[in-house]
Chain A
Amino acid sequence: MTPSGYFLAHLWLIPLFPLITAALMLLIGRLLPKAAVSSLCVGSVFLSFVHAAGAVLELLALPSGNRVFQQVLFEWITPGVMPTAVGLTSFVADWGYLLDPLSAVMVLVVTGVGFLIHVYSIGYMGHEGGYYRFFGYLNLFMFSMLTLVLANNLLLLFVGWEGVGLCSYLLIGFYFLKKSASDAGKKAFIVNRVGDTGFLLGIFLIATTFGTIRFTSQGLGDPVAFSGILQALGAMVHQDPSLYGAPVFTAIALLLFLGATGKSAQLPLYVWLPDAMEGPTPVSALIHAATMVTAGVYMVARMNAVYQLAPFAMDVVATVGALTAIYAATIALVQTDIKKVLAYSTISQLGYMFLALGVGAFAAGIFHLMTHAFFKALLFLGAGSVIHSLSGEQDLRKMGGLWNTVPATSRPFLIATLAIAGMPPLAGFFSKDEILGRAFGRAAMVDRYLALWIVGLITAGLTAFYMFRLLFLAFFGLSRVSPEAEHHIHESPKTMTIPLMILAALSIVGGWFALPALWGEESSFEKFLEPVLSGVIPETAAVKFAHHTLLTEYFLMAASVSIAILGFGLAYNLYLKHPQLHSKVSAAWPRLHNLLIHKYYVDEIYDALFVNRIKDLSTAFALFDAKVIDGLGVDGSAWLTRLLSRISMWWDKWVVDGLVNFVGKFTQFLSHPIRMFQTGLFSSYAMWILIGLAILLGYYSHHMEVLVRNLR
């Protein structure tokens, strides 16, 4: 292990700060004043951010091949011998943290964006009940998310994974008195269970295939004593290069991806994310846009070594990602709830990330994850600020004309919109362009990827369209705000607008790591991540991207920018220049419009296919319980017991007791004559004695005669 400074040595403090404050809030938070709650909770996240930044800086100081720092706090699941594909192995799970370039990016995004959203929450939740509860959950979430990204093994990652799922559930249902909110929480939790089943099976399969669940043994000193998936995989492939594409790798990759589709809201498990908008807006920004939903992307990138050996699974990831991207984008076109638009946008952008992972551009996926965290958090926080200003109004049809009434919100919102639409030189442009460029690069080598690139490009246009639609409807045109809300319009407090500005700045500069890519070189971001994402793939099977010429590079850029401008122009014409035009357009295709408004009826289809079938099954079980278990089992056995005891009682009464009574009665009957002598009168006894004496005397009378004769 390389000598390390304070921050690396105290890596374990990063998740601990929010855990402590979360425990404080949930135990005694009720007793604390609001100022104490906010300073404690925001302060702990700030401390985490400082430690994370310090640790990453210390990591950067190391030579690039050596940037792996592992810290095992304790053996969490103690060694046990387990049969695996590589023979009997001692299975062990540490409670250990891993800081390498990949988790460095994640930990900075999580603590940085998380801190800004915490600050924002002070203002946003200021008037809400359950202030301490909100911050307690939020801190618990930070702990879980940091555990997830810093975990050095899959099982600990799963702990964080479930932890963020729990916090997501708690925070979606934060307004638990509202039925729709508590239902949405349950939906999110249950849908995620489906994915988590796959994830857990994937972990099991990894454990039995590689004999370890630790990501890497690098940074742990003795490589013999510690095994890692990466090393085990490397040894396997080195021994037998034909393992490339082996079914077991495909199975692992697909199972893990099932987990990712649940957490990261991909087809077919995305249905919970739009409903999750029932939670408070900072929650939507932090959990359901910037951090938790990207956990799936992170996990797939983390397991890239396995994915690179499973080309079929990679194709599945890319296809699902591309389909999700365009599918969610089309739904976002017509939604009227400001947060629902952003929710579908998030699903769509996550689809982009999976598209990137699927075509083998892991760094591009993580890059988009980071820039998306900036601008999507900004969009949600901006939307939250608008909702706050309008006293809780979320319907786009009842907004408009807010550009100058809430300037500190509307300006950053414009920047975020430009960023997500992919306008240069903002963050979204670079990351999206990187993904599309990589997809195109694969397409140049293998034709079937061309479709993915086209889908991605169209989605970019759709994204620009629905985001500018949102912007125009909310901030421009004539005000459609209801009179009472109009009366109360106010700019949000500083605690809310300052995070917006910082995120706006990040949305602008966040993409500049990738500047070299403009000239067809490797971006510094990609170089930074390369040691983690290179995998152990045999040279012959390595994913190849066509090396773009400068001309291709400019063509791709022009394509994505022009389609974004096309989307902007369309939105401008339909919603700003001719505000009535969009209703005419939707009236022209009523069926299509209806289909989109109803989100392709997927919720209804799921209800019909799964939810109601499970309810039917439950009803059947309930009936079975009532009729068979209770009726036949319980009542039946009671009836049988009663019958048996009746028989037993009859037997006891007439046979057992009867026998006893018979013996008694018989004895009584026999003794009857003898009893007659016992009168209790002593005179009668005396008489019997005399009678006996007389009989005796009579019997011996001849002796008497002798006696009497002698006497004479």
Chain B
Amino acid sequence: MMSPAHYLFLSLALFLIGSIGVITRRNVIVVLMSIELILNAVNINLVAFSRIFGDVAGQVFALFIIADAAAEAAVGLGIIIAFFRNRETVLADEMDLLKW
């Protein structure tokens, strides 16, 4: 029998995998993919709690986040392409223009 905690642990695992991906990977495209993992961890969380509390609003939120993730991926890829055109690289450690 799957208890809510299982879902939460799955979600936590996905979140950690995504977070570690965001922090450690140099390729920005992979970082974007890791963000997708994090968003999906959130979705799982939302759906799980929706079941736990018997409230359907959580699932509606999950649908919004899927749409949001699509939009975010489109914007993110656009930025990456624009950046590539300027610097001919997609490596995160070469994107350091925001520092002092």
Contact = CB atoms under 8 A, between A and B. Distances in A.
Per DSSP, chain B at the interface is helix
B4 A680 contact: no
B90 to A, nearest CB: 13
Contacts of B96: 679-681
Given A680-B99, A711-B52, A687 B5 contact: no
A678 interface: yes
A581 B57 CA distance: 157
A682 B5 CA distance: 32
Interface string B82-100: 0000000000110111111
Interface stretch (B18-26, B39-47, B59-67): B18-26
B22 A683 contact: yes
Interface in A665-712: 675, 678-684, 686-687, 690, 708, 711-712
Nearest to B98: A680
B97 A680 contact: yes
Contacts of A680: 95-99
Contacts of A690: 19, 23
B23 A687 contact: yes
Interface string B16-35: 00010011110000010000
Contact of A708 (B5, B19, B31): B5
B32 to A, nearest CB: 11
Contact of A711 (B5, B31, B93): B5
Contact of B95 (A678, A682, A708, A711): A682
A229 B31 CA distance: 118
A683 B23 contact: yes
Contact of B99 (A678, A708, A711, A712): A678
A653 B25 CA distance: 51
A711 B3 CA distance: 9
B100 A681 contact: no
Contacts of A711: 3-5, 8, 52
Contacts of A687: 23
Given A678-B99, A682-B98, A686-B19, 17 more contacts: A675-B100, A678-B98, A680-B96, A680-B99, A681-B92, A681-B93, A681-B96, A682-B92, A683-B23, A683-B24, A683-B93, A690-B23, A711-B3, A711-B4, A711-B5, A711-B52, A712-B3
Contacts of A682: 92, 95, 98
Contacts of B92: 681-683
A244 B96 CA distance: 115
29 contacts: A675-B100, A679-B99, A680-B95, A680-B96, A680-B98, A680-B99, A681-B92, A681-B93, A681-B95, A681-B96, A682-B92, A682-B98, A683-B22, A683-B23, A683-B24, A683-B25, A683-B31, A683-B92, A684-B23, A686-B19, A686-B22, A686-B23, A690-B19, A690-B23, A708-B5, A711-B3, A711-B5, A712-B3, A712-B5
A684 B22 CA distance: 9
A708 B3 CA distance: 12
Contacts of A678: 98-100
Interface in A374-409: none
Contacts of B5: 708, 711-712
Contacts of B24: 683
A305 B91 CA distance: 120
Nearest first, the 4 closest Cβ-Cβ pairs linking A and B are A680-B99, A680-B96, A680-B98, A687-B23
Contacts of B95: 680-682
A562 to B, nearest CB: 126
A678 B95 CA distance: 13
A681 B26 CA distance: 10
Contacts of A679: 96, 99
Nearest to A684: B23
**Which of B25, B31, B96: most chain A Cβ within 10 A?**
B96
A682 B98 CA distance: 9
Contacts of B4: 711
A682 B92 CA distance: 7
Nearest to B24: A683
Interface in A637-686: 675, 678-684, 686
A469 B31 CA distance: 135
Nearest to B97: A680
Contacts of A686: 19, 22-23
Nearest to B92: A683
A503 to B, nearest CB: 110
B19 to A, nearest CB: 5
Nearest to B31: A683
Nearest to A707: B8
Nearest to A671: B100
Nearest to A693: B19
A506 B24 CA distance: 136
Contacts of B3: 711-712
A712 B4 CA distance: 8
A712 B6 CA distance: 11
Contacts of B93: 681, 683
A711 B7 CA distance: 12
A683 B94 CA distance: 11
Instruction: Identify the interface centre among B5, B23, B97: most chain A CB within 10 Å of its CB.
Output: B23
